[in-house]
Structure 1
């Protein structure tokens, strides 16, 4: 059963869809709205709404978590571009269905947030857009893949809202102690912590630049050049090549400055509330379908910060990381039996060594990343011929995607997300290079841009499909966790997600069941995408008290 739901003026409007057509419309206000949603949720419907980020958080704040939904904005973004559609999506350019970033309210959403925002689709528009999307998908020869993609996208959006609502357990006192230990006491607004100020002074002295602001890249570069240190940037790898006493304090300054900027006291005040870290996840925030986030490094918690992520007494954190996900996805997409065999060995990189493809695990990693990201020079370029010989189907798959990109063509992930075409300026450069009067500089520029586009499409098909696998993993894991019986009223909950890693907070008594759910969901995700093709999606699963213990 599908139920359309929309914020309409000062009410929440809903209607059961029968054969795609809405039945009687209910208009609900105040506490009656989430109460009615909770009542209908017991029937196991699929909620059809414009935007999960607008409607699910206030329902969660009222104690209502829906099981299934169809997010029409996310679906529109996929279908408007997908080359899997045989009939284009009607209204593909309709601005009303462009994705809308969630806006932080700085606190819990309330029932008042259920009222319609300016320009938000009303119930009739939700019903019409749902019908357009259903019609476009049903007309596709690859409708099964598209259905799975839209369902996974929508389930991911539910998870994203729940991750923010639940939050990751975070010990503010522990984090403050870490910052004080590493940086010095918290400074006054606008000031530097003592350790950073001391390092800045050391850098100024060694570069003979008393007025230097080491946070300014251009100023720092000029100071380095003044001392005869010829570097093109202040990136770590360039500075490490220098033989000068300023290198050590400068690198230490940059490392600590990153910590202060990404996860310092301001970050703590903005994103940690009531002992929980609550970033705002942005499903499909990256063009490949990967998530992005707000929250000052929200998708990357450095190892030195993880000691503050601690489960409450009587609970544990189950941390699961999908090992070498993208190579495994590539093996399945390309139907490369040899690489699939390597995936079943556990450590895919070590399997390449054991099968005499390369001589060391480090070389295996370099070669595989070179294949995925288009490295043609240096060590990766030298190792690529070995991969080509050993895994012709897998390497041929990404090579074909790269050649398509170089021609300005669009590529598509396994389930149906298509890459954006290159801009008109790209085509103009290519056309100019093909003219009889084109200069060598024109041709070099065209080749460079073509190679860049090829590297993008090469990685797009793999990274995008890996994101699809991860969404299916998340969706199935969420379903399994919801089915577990609570202990003392507490049920396991997803509390963190990063590309190919999840954290579940669980009562200690259910830790074993959660570990099995994590593994079973990974197997199911592989089956949903790739059927019975024998690729193993290996997981590193650890049950810990603190995230820092997860290695």
Structure 2
């Protein structure tokens, strides 16, 4: 496959290297990419978030890329990679290169050296580092999935989530009252604040101020350590109910109120900015609008366009199933065959109840050592030794200060500092080091599973993205079925209603591809719950029975960007 490198040059120019080197004015870049794209090259650039939005705005979609920023960060940390092979000219700039921020005004900003890095130079180093690794095949899959995720994130940012401002504003008016002047509370929220003040005998109270609210509660004989909702629910006082309602509605007003609409919704679309691999495990994050945690109260405003539908799919119990696959634990994999892994463990005779299975498995992945979870972990370790042993080994490695890795080779961040640096440290310091050991062990225990789950999801999204593109007869990304939301184990596709059945099949087939790519020698089921709805709020009510997606034997040819 041809690799075409794009590097920024001063003066709004682009240096293209590969089989046909050329220097272009930035204004001609979209036309050049459009002309070359039918040959399906892999575009190699420093940061997808800097290059791809401008191409999408010109109705140019690319199938494949290699995101050097994401992959440099990944490879430097990968235990199976010799990091020295990534050192050389400009490497210190790649170490510091961060993702493009939504406030960045243009693709080309300053004459700083970090703005004009040589894509071909860094690409050669990365390829050499991968080729020299004993885990080269897995790392190639990982960097391909990571880069495809960057393309998907840019497309989702560009397309946006269909959003009905009128529905959102009607919802706000019903719960909060008419839109207030800037800096004021809505009428119904202010009425609740007045009721809280009256019941606490504090006419000047600002219920949004934690210190003031704590003081007012204590003057009324209510001793609490904080003002969290779960704490307030335990107090016996007339103020409890209105105060809890106030806090819930104040949160809605502050996080998804009219100001949120003004900032994040344009042209009928909620437009957050997604950050692939925004966390250490490879999970995505977003840097605005709370895109990865739609509040239940406003989900009814996420409405498909007329004649279109939202296809919502999520994976049941993703991380426990990933643990079964990556550990090669045949017994746990058998329990996972079907729609409910926890019930499968009950049917297997491992535990008495589904709740016991859930407590034990989640306890093993998150480091529960006491109480009911700890008791279940001990029993299930004997029943599923490979799976429970894998996370236990990861925890012990973390406690020794060692770096652990995911199935495809992503390494966890190293523990800051070391307890071996000061052998003569006083006991207090040693106690602190022990706490750090245990905390890091809990992190590494979960990292191996959560990170591998993120890899499965990245492969799912990468394959699905290309399947969706092929379903559309013509037009740009947002005129065809396209991804609009992704959260760890859930995707939402906006599609013409007549293609909803084909999209459902594509989602299922992409999940099978992801499963085969990661667990080709181990049969593991990844059941999907799929709903075709008009509004995102309807997804939980209209979910189809989960379909088990499993694989065994050789993986199908991957369709990853």
Asked if these proteins are the same fold (TM beyond 0.5), I'd say yes
Matched pairs, number:
535
Displacement, 1:25? 2.4
Relative to 1, partners in 2 of residues 1:171 and 1:141: Cα closer, same or farther, differing over 3 Å? Answer: same
Moved more, 346-355 or 322-331: 346-355
1:61 aligned residue: 57
Displacement, 1:481? 0.9
Please tell me whether the aligned partners of residues 73 and 98 of structure 1 are also in contact (alpha carbons under 8 angstroms): no
Relative to 1, partners in 2 of residues 1:271 and 1:461: Cα closer, same or farther, differing over 3 Å? Answer: same
1:285 aligned residue: 278
The CA distance in 2 between the partners of 1:116 and 1:96, in whole Å, is 17
Moved more, 60-69 or 237-246: 237-246
The CA distance in 2 between the partners of 1:105 and 1:421, in whole Å, is 31
Displacement, 1:49? 0.4
The CA distance in 1 between the partners of 2:55 and 2:496, in whole Å, is 25
Displacement, 1:302? 1.7
Displacement, 1:27? 1.8
1:468 aligns with one of 455, 458, 466:
455
1:399 aligned residue: 392
Corresponding position: 1:27 with 2:24: yes
Relative to 1, partners in 2 of residues 1:95 and 1:214: Cα closer, same or farther, differing over 3 Å? Answer: farther
- Structure 2 gap ranges (5+): 541-561
Q: Residue 447 of structure 1: SS of its match in structure 2?
A: helix
Relative to 1, partners in 2 of residues 1:157 and 1:403: Cα closer, same or farther, differing over 3 Å? Answer: same
Please tell me whether the aligned partners of residues 12 and 114 of structure 1 are also in contact (alpha carbons under 8 angstroms): no
The CA distance in 2 between the partners of 1:322 and 1:484, in whole Å, is 23
Moved more, 211-220 or 172-181: 211-220
Aligned Cα RMSD in Å? 2.2
Displacement, 1:12? 4.0
Q: Residue 86 of structure 2: SS of its match in structure 1?
A: coil
The CA distance in 2 between the partners of 1:179 and 1:363, in whole Å, is 41
1:524 aligned residue: 513
1:504 aligns with one of 465, 479, 493:
493
Corresponding position: 1:550 with 2:539: yes
The CA distance in 2 between the partners of 1:237 and 1:447, in whole Å, is 31
Corresponding position: 1:44 with 2:40: yes
Corresponding position: 1:164 with 2:165: no
Q: Residue 355 of structure 2: SS of its match in structure 1?
A: helix
- Structure 1 gap ranges (5+): none
With structure 2 as the length reference, what TM-score do the two structures score? Answer: 0.90
Q: Within 5 A, what are the aligned runs for 1:425-436?
A: 427-428=418-419, 435=424
Q: Residue 320 of structure 1: SS of its match in structure 2?
A: strand
Q: Residue 88 of structure 1: SS of its match in structure 2?
A: helix
Displacement, 1:227? 3.6
Moved more, 122-131 or 491-500: 122-131
Please tell me whether the aligned partners of residues 321 and 524 of structure 2 are also in contact (alpha carbons under 8 angstroms): yes
The CA distance in 1 between the partners of 2:307 and 2:445, in whole Å, is 46
The CA distance in 1 between the partners of 2:217 and 2:429, in whole Å, is 34
With structure 1 as the length reference, what TM-score do the two structures score? Answer: 0.92
Please tell me whether the aligned partners of residues 162 and 270 of structure 2 are also in contact (alpha carbons under 8 angstroms): yes
1:162-210 Cα shifts (integer Å, max 9, x gaps): 0011111100000000111111111111111122222222222333333
1:457 aligns with one of 441, 444, 459:
444
Please tell me whether the aligned partners of residues 288 and 419 of structure 1 are also in contact (alpha carbons under 8 angstroms): yes
Q: Within 5 A, what are the aligned runs for 1:223-234?
A: 223-234=216-227
1:201-242 Cα shifts (integer Å, max 9, x gaps): 222233333332222223323333444433332222222222
Q: Residue 118 of structure 2: SS of its match in structure 1?
A: helix
2:350 aligned residue: 357
1:67-112 Cα shifts (integer Å, max 9, x gaps): 1000000011001111011453422861344342333259xx8xxx
Q: Within 5 A, what are the aligned runs for 1:187-206?
A: 187-206=180-199
